[in-house]
């Protein structure tokens, strides 16, 4: 079977390993990794063609978690989709809610009070801490450190999820943002708890970095692995920490200045080489910047209402129009494109998933590396299949 034969990429269940022949490479081995492979972080499948141990071709196969969220959202009201956005990237429900609320507010011309804007920044940055610390843990799982770094991350994540639970009633499916504000006002005790957590977070990061950053095996396995060219990454629409690891300064918090981010003093860390190690360091450095943003937000959080009095929850019908709202989610640019025809449900509801589009260059990053490296590269891109397949 020749290398240009694409029959293995159909969804039909076939053999997981088969031999293929190519005039240039000779005899090759084709391995289907996934969809039930533990290192693919969900139901993701890669069809990898190997020359010895080196990857000569890699084709991702999607759709195992597809439930056509967009169609469901077109058949329900605007507010009815809000709990469903939690299920996209199920580690970061707060930022998903925020992105959707932001797009709808743009569509309807809805204002948001100051306190709600601050709360959104606080919860968004806490979500970034959750996502990045877990991602680093999972990355080390992929490197072979079975669960020890991940459980350190889960220890911290559990504290943040307790905060989310006491505020919104749910650990992961928060359903917290509304069009024109937030759902619940946090009491002062909650804010004191959150502030204490954030104040202690740099200690966890120091501890984490002491274990991981200078680790010899880690350096050997990640430096120079999965390099990404900046021009190619921009053209392929890569966003988030993966893009900034190549040295492209593009953070939507700075570029668009949505929400109240222009009021905060923080820096955007940039990488140099675009390899897996830089992508790891981006996460660590971004967590340190998030801590900076959070401590400023707790200091400046104003009193006041959390919902705009003109905001309409029931019977919400935006005027005909179109809006694209995007935010810097922990994984990259998360955008919602909404088209309203004046009815209570959207004519078109589209999610721009950062996880899916960041996978565009997965093949280019993996070529020439071993399967074990492909696992690490995929781990460093940070995907959640709930968002990839929608």
Partner 1 sequence: MESLEQLRDRLLARFPGAKVELVTNPGPTAEHSLLLGAAHGRDVALFLRDDEALKLDYCSNATGVDWPGKEIVETVKKTIPAAAPSAVAGVGDPGPGSTSPATTPATKVVEEKIERIEPGYLEAIYHLYSMAKKHGPVIIRLRTGNRSDDVTLPSLTPVWRSCDFQEREIYDLFGIVFEGHRDLRRLLMWDEFKDHPMRKDYVAPDDFEWEPTPHGDVHERAKVHYPSPVAEPPDEPRRSPQGEGGPATATKEAPKP
Binding positions for partner 1, rule: CB under 8 A: 6, 9-12, 62-63, 66, 68, 70-71, 106-109, 232, 234-238, 248, 250, 255, 318-324, 326, 333, 335, 337, 339-340, 347-348, 350, 352, 356-357, 359-361, 389-390
Q: d(Cα 245, Cα 256) in Å, to the nearest integer?
A: 20
19 vs 68 by CB, closer to partner 1: 68
Of the pair 80, 321, the CB lying nearest partner 1 is at 321
* Dist. CA 98–CA 175, nearest whole Å: 10
CB closer to partner 1 out of 225 and 323: 323
For partner 1, give the closer residue by CB, 331 or 337. 337
Helices (H) and strands (E) in the chain, counts: 15, 9
Q: How far apart are CA 122 and CA 202, in angstroms?
A: 16
Express the helix, strand and coil content of the chain in percent, nearest 5 each: 50, 15, 35
Cβ nearer to partner 1, comparing 13 with 146: 13
Residue 191 corresponds to which tokens in the numbers above? Answer: 């804010």
Closer Cβ to partner 1, 62 or 298, answer by number: 62
- 19 burial (CB, 10 Å; 0-12 / 13-18 / 19+) is exposed
Could you please report the per-residue DSSP string of 9-38?
GSSS---SEEEEEETTTEEEEEEEE-SS-G
Rounded to a whole number of angstroms, the minimum distance from the CB of residue 325 to partner 1 is 9
Provide, rounded to whole angstroms, the least separation between the CB of residue 340 and partner 1. 7
Please, what is the Cα angle at 222 between 332 and 206, to 5 degrees? 75
Longest CA–CA separation in the chain, Å: 71
Q: Which residue do the tokens 């990857």 mark?
A: 55
What are the angstrom distances between the C-alpha of 369 and each of 25, 51, 351, 363, 374? Answer: 16, 10, 32, 10, 7
Nearest of 142, 199, 166 to residue 158 by alpha carbon: 166
Instruction: Give the shortest CB-159-to-partner 1 separation in angstroms.
Output: 34
Q: How far is the CB of 62 from partner 1 (least distance, A)?
A: 6
CA dihedral 163, 169, 175, 178 (to 10 degrees): -90
Work out how close the CB of 266 gets to partner 1 at its nearest, in angstroms, rounded to a whole number. 17
CB of residue 234 to partner 1, shortest distance in Å: 5
List all residues 6 or more positions away from 91 whose beta carbon is below 8 Å from its beta carbon. 127, 130, 131, 134, 172, 330, 384
What's the closest the beta carbon of residue 106 comes to partner 1, in angstroms? 5
Q: Given the complex with partner 1, which of 29 and 72 has the nearer CB atom?
A: 72
Which residue, 257 or 304, has its beta carbon nearer to partner 1?
Answer: 257
Give the nearest distance from C-beta 357 to partner 1 in angstroms.
6
């Amino acid at each position: 079977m020749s290398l240009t034969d694409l029959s293995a990429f159909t969804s039909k269940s076939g053999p997981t390993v088969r031999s293929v022949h190519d005039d240039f490479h000779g005899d090759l081995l084709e391995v289907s990794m996934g969809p039930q492979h533990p290192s693919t972080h969900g139901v993701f499948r890669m069809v990898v063609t190997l020359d010895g141990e080196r990857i000569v071709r890699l084709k991702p196969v999607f759709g195992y978690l597809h439930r056509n969220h967009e169609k469901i959202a077109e058949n329900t009201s605007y507010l009815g989709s809000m709990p469903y956005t939690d299920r996209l990237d199920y580690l970061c429900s707060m930022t998903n809610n925020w992105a959707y609320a932001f797009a709808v507010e743009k569509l309807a011309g809805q204002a948001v009070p100051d306190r709600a804007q601050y709360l959104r920044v606080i919860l968004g940055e806490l979500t970034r801490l959750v996502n990045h610390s877990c991602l680093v843990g999972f990355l080390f799982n992929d490197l072979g450190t079975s669960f020890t770094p991940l459980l350190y991350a889960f220890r911290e994540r559990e504290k943040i999820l307790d905060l989310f639970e006491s505020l919104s009633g749910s650990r992961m499916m928060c359903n917290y943002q509304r069009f024109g504000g937030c759902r619940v006002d946090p009491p002062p005790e909650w804010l004191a708890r959150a502030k204490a957590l954030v104040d202690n977070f740099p200690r966890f990061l120091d501890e984490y970095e002491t274990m991981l950053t200078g680790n010899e095996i880690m350096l050997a396995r990640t430096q120079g692995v999965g390099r990404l060219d900046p021009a190619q990454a921009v053209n392929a629409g890569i966003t988030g920490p993966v893009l900034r690891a190549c040295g492209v300064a593009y953070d939507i918090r700075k570029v668009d200045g949505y929400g109240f981010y222009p009021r905060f003093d923080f820096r955007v860390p940039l990488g140099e080489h675009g390899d897996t190690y830089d992508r790891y360091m981006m996460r660590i450095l971004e967590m340190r910047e998030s801590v900076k943003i959070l401590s400023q937000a707790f200091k400046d959080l104003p009193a006041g209402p959390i919902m705009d009095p003109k905001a309409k929850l029931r019977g919400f019908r935006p005027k005909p129009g179109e809006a694209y709202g995007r935010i810097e989610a922990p994984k990259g640019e998360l955008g919602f494109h909404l088209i309203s025809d004046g009815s209570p449900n959207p004519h078109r509801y589209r999610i721009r998933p950062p996880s899916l589009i960041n996978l565009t260059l997965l093949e280019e990053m993996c070529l020439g590396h071993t399967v074990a490296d492909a696992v690490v590269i995929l781990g460093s891109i940070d995907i959640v299949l709930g968002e990839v397949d929608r």
